[in-house]
Amino acid sequence: MNRETAEKVLHYIEKSPTAFHAVENLKKELEDRGFVRLMENERWDLQPGAKYYVTRNHSSIISFVLPAEKPDGFRLIASHSDSPCFKLKIDPEINSAGNCIRLNVERYGGMINASWFDRPLSVAGRIFVSHGQQLKELLVNLDRDLLVIPSLAIHMDPRTNKGIEYNIQNDMLPVLAQSPLPSEEAEDTVTMMNLLAGQAGVKSEDIHGSDLFVYNRMLPFFWGADREYIAGPRLDDLECCYSTFLGFLESCSTTPEHRFVRVHAVFDNEEVGSGTAQGADSTFLSEVMERISLGCGCGREEYIAQVASSFMLSADNAHAIHPGYPEKADPVNRPVINRGIVIKHNANQKYTTDGFSTAVVVRLCREHHIPYQHFTNRSDMTGGSTLGNISQSHVSMKAADIGLAQLAMHSSCESAGAEDPGHMKHLAEVFYSNF
């Protein structure tokens, strides 16, 4: 079993507690490979055969490689950088019973609430501090076991093993610290801003804004009798994000057999509908693609023709058949972990895949000996949409939705297969190089 790609994916996840860190880590690798950073608010001077990247909100990133001649279109793989978690509210400290200081949080995305109890947690994200007459953005990560959301003892609630609907405001606030008794003299009040200021080397009064998230501190790991499985936080969708990124980088070492712009895109906020300036339901992708076309000397009509000749893979993880709940899967199309690329289908267009795009992916997989399988929901169950069909409303091209099979999607600790990241990397490489 080839676990090399899986090991790289798990290491990337370990370093990427938030979407901001996930994008920052991609930026570092791109710059190490000679990619040039572009700024959205500046003019682009693009050169044939060169490599570039651009970010938006520091949580979405589009990287691309130009062909040596005027392009015929785009070859694009897209995924997302965010995962369900808790976001800290402004002034989050709440004095609670038992002399505890808890953090006021709200839910980000559709998480499995129970999976967050009794685990080591911490806080990461970004802060904005004074820097002369400007504001400076700093990434922060309180990289230690800082928080726990303690569950209620079964003695105090006999419903515990019968199913509970958790209330985020009442039941799921993380404990940060023990507050002093009224008779005790506190040297310093424990606040999140004080902790972050100390970690960032700034004064707490200089922090003027923040985007902070609670994350699961568990390290990703291999498991199973033959270590055939992987598990950890944020597999959805950093597993697809990074395995396709590795294939994209690998394709950069070869000269493609086509004249298409190779594009790797990672969007934020998929878990909350993508309707932000940095989400798939924004102008980010369409504007970048049009600027690439214009920068290559093409006119508006040529750009429209290029989009019509383009193809996108929307890479977001898929549901594997669950060993304990096989009845939840479709009777026929039942993806299995470690059995390759999952091609996702939906009659109501929650996924972009149609007959033509299915044929494209199947042919690529067959020609390059990449295992593949199909996913559909049960006919009496609805599924969530992905960034593929959302982005199509802004830039329309042929597309297919794909992913890797996993269990416990949206848990704070998800499981998948150790072989599958290698299959996704391989597909990405041939998609960019030999399509």
Q: Rounded to an integer, what distance in angstroms lies between the CA atom of residue 104 and that of residue 149?
A: 12
B/e letters for 5-43, b = 16+ CB within 10 Å, e = fewer, are bbebbbebbeebbbbbbbbbbbbeebeeeebeebeeeee
Please list the residue range(s) of the chain that carry CATH number 3.40.630.10.
4-83+233-434
pLDDT of residue 393: 86
Walk along the chain (435 residues) and give the pLDDT tens digit of each residue: 579 999 999 999 999 999 999 999 999 999 999 999 999 999 999 999 999 999 999 999 999 999 999 999 999 999 999 999 999 999 999 999 999 999 999 999 999 999 999 999 999 999 999 888 889 999 999 999 999 999 999 999 888 888 889 999 999 999 999 987 665 655 667 899 999 999 999 999 999 999 999 999 999 999 999 999 999 999 999 999 999 999 999 999 888 778 999 999 999 999 999 999 999 999 999 999 999 999 999 999 999 999 999 999 999 999 999 999 999 999 999 999 999 999 999 998 899 999 999 999 999 999 999 999 999 999 998 877 788 889 988 999 999 999 999 999 999 999 999 999 999 999 999 999 986
pLDDT of residue 103: 98
pLDDT of residue 258: 83
Please list the residue range(s) of the chain that carry CATH number 2.30.250.10.
85-216
Instruction: Please spell the DSSP secondary structure of 245-296, one letter per residue.
Output: HHHHHHHTTS--SS-EEEEEEEES-GGGTS-STTSSSSSHHHHHHHHHHHHT
pLDDT of residue 35: 98
Tokens 């996704």 belong to 424
- 385 half-sphere exposure, CB direction, 13 A CA radius: 18
Q: Rounded to an integer, what distance in angstroms lies between the CA atom of residue 133 and that of residue 427?
A: 48
Both structure tokens of 243: 């395995």
User: Domain 85-216, what fold?
Assistant: Aminopeptidase i, Domain 2 (2.30.250)
Partners of 410 in the β-ladder: none
CATH number (3.40.50.2000, 3.30.200.20, 3.40.50.620, 3.40.630.10) of 4-83+233-434 reads 3.40.630.10
pLDDT of residue 181: 64
Predicted model pTM = 0.96
pLDDT of residue 392: 87
For residue 63, give the H/E element and its range: strand 60-65
For the beta carbon of residue 310, count every other beta carbon within 10 angstroms.
22
